Amino acid sequence: MKAFMVELFAMYSTQIVFLHVLSAVIWVGGMIAMRFAAHQSFMQIESPLHRLERISQSLKRLFTIVSPFVIILIITAVIMAVGLGFRDAAVDANGNVIDEYSMHIYNLVHVKEVIWMIMAGNLSVMILLRNKAQKLLDKGDSTGAKKALGLIGKYMVPVNIALGVIAIYLGVTLRHAY
């Protein structure tokens, strides 16, 4: 599998990096647009029930759009990590460090991958909360729906935005590491 990923990256490195960057831009950019543009618009809706319904619908659309890009981002991250040979440059076959700088870069690769995985987990919980909120709205429980949607907007999206910006910065750092 390693040889396949190395060959795949060697043949399609531009396309793989492009898909990775595009996925990050769509995911993080979508969250930024939702939190700082659409959210302000939702607050102008006078009816609390209509506001919650609109927020729930918009989050569903956002999650539908970004979910395939999250999968693409994770797949391309693994292909790049293996294809660029970060591990091979850092450690020998026995796992002994052969170059401190390369080991530092290899560790940054792992940090970035962990950030994306935390973000993906957070997104999964946001999807579950949004679905729960929609069910509560359908039952007429706007208080419960507001609580579920509030967690997403106040905490979970901002956390993913911050983590996404950090991961993008690390990506730029890694791209210029060699």
What is 137-160 written as a DSSP string? HHTT-HHHHHHHHHHIIIIIHHHH
The C-alpha atoms of residue 94 and residue 16 are separated, in whole angstroms, by: 30
The C-alpha atoms of residue 59 and residue 23 are separated, in whole angstroms, by: 18
Span 58-94, pLDDT tens digits: 999 999 999 999 999 999 999 999 998 889 889 999 9
Is the pLDDT reported for residue 35 higher than 90? Answer: yes
Q: Give domain limits for the chain.
A: 2-175
Helix, coil or strand: residue 97: strand
Is the pLDDT reported for residue 21 higher than 90? Answer: yes
Which residues does residue 124 pair with via DSSP β-bridges, in sequence order? Answer: none
Q: What is the mean pLDDT of residues 24-42?
A: 95
Is the pLDDT reported for residue 96 higher than 90? Answer: yes
Pick from 35, 14, 28: nearest CA to 150: 35
H/E run at residue 66:
helix 48-83
Is the pLDDT reported for residue 177 higher than 80? Answer: no
Span 139-168, pLDDT tens digits: 999 999 999 999 999 999 999 999 999 999
